[in-house]
């Protein structure tokens, strides 16, 4: 667990500089688009999150969206994964841009993979505010009839036991409330292995993202299958 404790210490150390995933020299809020193209696709997945989704300091093909797309394609699912990750985003920022992202796609997504909250934790935002913002996004996606796979985040240990208990319970509760599939901790099996992390010990490197995708893609595949079956039943 040494790397996880280091992760917590580093996260707190950079609170005064930026949110997790923001460049401490030049902070950018530019949405990263997926450079892996699929000429024709049957399913559209939106990966909506922060720097962990955006591919922070990774080559264009090494981030979550392109690697998840490749995994789905390898499993026989002709899907495009749209990268809607923005480094530095809090749940409040994500809430404010969600409708804009969805409205500007070329079609309604078959699935949204949603992962925000890490920057809230770094900034010490009250878990009640994080949950409210996440609930607003889940409500919007439900209103549009878009299924969700949630990727959870855990509070770093030095945020304190009370904060951790409140924060860590957000994602399982939302998963249950909205009947959404949950990947409990985005960095599970990654943050504790230095070989899978960037030198900042906060963000995964390309191999780390591959590990994430190995755990996440079966949930995404199952959600896409469930959605397709539900559509056929109508």
Provide the token pair at 188. Answer: 């599970």
Is 82 catalytic? The answer is no
Determine how many CB atoms are found less than 10 A away from the CB of residue 141. 22
Provide the token pair at 28. Answer: 């950018």
Query: What span, in angstroms and rounded, lies between the C-alpha atoms of 126 and 168?
Result: 12
| pLDDT greater than 60 at residue 37 | no
Q: Is the dihedral of CA 219, 105, 102, 83 positive or negative?
A: positive
Q: Which residues, 6+ apart, have CB-to-CB distance to 34 below 8 Å?
A: 65, 66, 69, 80, 81, 82, 83
pLDDT in the model for residue 12:
45
The one catalytic residue in 87, 120, 203, 217 is: 203
Q: Which one-letter DSSP state was computed for residue 79?
A: E
The one catalytic residue in 62, 188, 193, 200 is: 200
Domains annotated on the chain, with CATH: 2-233 (3.40.50.1110)
The one catalytic residue in 51, 87, 156, 217 is: 51
Is 51 catalytic? The answer is yes
Higher pLDDT, 136 or 24: 136
| pLDDT greater than 90 at residue 89 | yes
Higher pLDDT, 72 or 19: 72
Query: What span, in angstroms and rounded, lies between the C-alpha atoms of 51 and 126?
Result: 21
Lowest-confidence range among 21-25, 120-124, 214-218?
21-25
pLDDT in the model for residue 21:
52
């Amino acid at each position: 667990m040494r790397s996880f404790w280091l992760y917590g210490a580093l996260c707190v150390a950079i609170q005064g500089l930026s949110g997790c995933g923001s460049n401490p020299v030049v902070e950018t809020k530019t949405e990263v688009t997926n450079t892996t193209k699929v000429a024709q696709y049957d399913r559209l997945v939106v990966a909506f999150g922060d720097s962990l989704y955006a591919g922070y300091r990774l080559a264009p093909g090494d981030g979550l969206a392109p690697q998840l797309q490749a995994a789905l394609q390898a499993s026989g699912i002709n899907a495009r994964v749209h990268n809607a990750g923005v480094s530095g985003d809090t749940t409040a920022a994500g809430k404010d841009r969600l409708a804009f992202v969805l409205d500007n796609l070329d079609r309604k997504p078959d699935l949204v993979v949603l992962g925000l909250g890490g920057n809230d934790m770094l900034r010490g935002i009250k878990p009640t505010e994080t949950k409210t913002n996440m609930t607003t996004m889940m409500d919007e996606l439900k209103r549009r009839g878009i299924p969700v796979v949630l990727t959870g985040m855990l509070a770093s240990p030095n945020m304190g036991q009370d904060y951790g208990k409140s924060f860590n319970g957000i994602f399982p509760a939302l998963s249950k409330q909205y009947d959404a599939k949950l990947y409990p901790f985005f960095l599970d099996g990654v943050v504790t292995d230095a070989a899978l992390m960037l030198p900042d010990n906060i963000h995964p490197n390309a191999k780390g993202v591959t590990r994430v995708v190995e755990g996440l893609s079966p949930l995404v595949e199952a959600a896409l299958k469930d959605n397709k079956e539900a559509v056929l039943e109508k």
